[in-house]
Amino acid sequence: MVYERERFAREDAVYAEHKRAVAAGEKRVLRKTSTGELHSYPADEIGFTPGGGQAQVSTWWGMAVVCSVLGLLFLGSLVMLIVTLLQGHGEWGILFPLLMGAFGVVYTFRLSRDEYLATQLRKLRGSPKPSSSGSVDINLLELGQNRGDQPGASR
């Protein structure tokens, strides 16, 4: 019970600091850390949000693996296009996977790079690792209000 009150007090302090930083014009992201604590990250410390409609991969090197697989798709499609063109056939149907592979390589490379840079910045600044879920309760109550999940609160 005491732990919950302390956690709520810490989250209220983080939320208040986050609101002050945003009001001052800073670009901040409010996220849970990997340990479940609330943290206000500068926008450059967040790479990509796993499971947020984007990737299910949660690390920069995992995204680099996805980028490599898409690169192989791109190279395979390119070889198939070149072979058919050299044989005099116009197999233009391979252009769709070729373009999708190229787009996928560029997109996943950028995600991987952004997450790598964000990871390095977090290490440099001593910020905690964000949770892999990427979710935070958007409906955070204003500071000092009762929360429904507090002990003794009616549901």
Rounded average pLDDT per 10-residue block, the chain, 155 residues: 75 87 87 83 78 68 91 89 84 83 93 91 87 60 53 47
Residues 28 and 87 in one domain: no
106 and 136 fall within a common domain = no
- Total-model pTM: 0.69
Helices 95-125, 60-86: axis angle to 10 degrees equals 160
Q: Are residues 117 and 62 in the same domain?
A: yes
33 shares a domain with 71: no
Buried b (16+ CB within 10 A) or exposed e, 3-20: eeeeebeebbebbeebbe
Structural domain harbouring 23: 1-46+130-148
DSSP, res 32: E
For residue 32, which of 15, 53, 9 has the smallest C-alpha distance? 15
